[in-house]
Chains A and B, each alone.
Chain A
Amino acid sequence: AQKITQTQPGMFVQEKEAVTLDCTYDTSDPSYGLFWYKQPSSGEMIFLIYQGSYDQQNATEGRYSLNFQKARKSANLVISASQLGDSAMYFCAMREENSGNTPLVFGKGTRLSVIA
Chain B
Amino acid sequence: ETGVTQSPTHLIKTRGQQVTLRCSSQSGHNTVSWYQQALGQGPQFIFQYYREEENGRGNFPPRFSGLQFPNYSSELNVNALELDDSALYLCASSRERAYGETQYFGPGTRLLVL
Binding site for B on A (CB under 8 A): 4, 31, 33, 35, 37, 42-47, 50, 52, 91, 93, 97, 99-109
Contacts and interface: CB of A to CB of B under 8 A. Distances in A.
Given A97-B100, A103-B56, A106-B43, A45 B90 contact: yes
B102 A50 contact: yes
Quick one: which of A43, A50, A102, A109 has the most chain B CB within 10 A?
A: A43
Given A101-B50, A101-B94, A91 B100 contact: no
A35 B43 CA distance: 13
B101 interface: yes
B99 A100 contact: yes
Contacts of A45: 43, 90, 92, 105
Interface residues of B, number: 33
A103 B58 contact: yes
B41 A108 contact: yes
Given A50-B100, A103-B48, 11 more contacts: A43-B107, A44-B105, A52-B99, A101-B48, A101-B50, A101-B98, A101-B101, A102-B56, A104-B43, A106-B42, A108-B41
A33 B94 CA distance: 15
Nearest to B89: A43
B104 A47 contact: yes
Nearest to A97: B99
A102 B100 CA distance: 11
A24 to B, nearest CB: 14
Contact of B97 (A35, A101, A104): A101
Interface string B4-38: 00000000000000000000000000010101000
The 8 closest A-B pairs by CB, nearest first: A100-B97, A106-B42, A45-B105, A103-B45, A101-B97, A43-B108, A44-B107, A106-B43
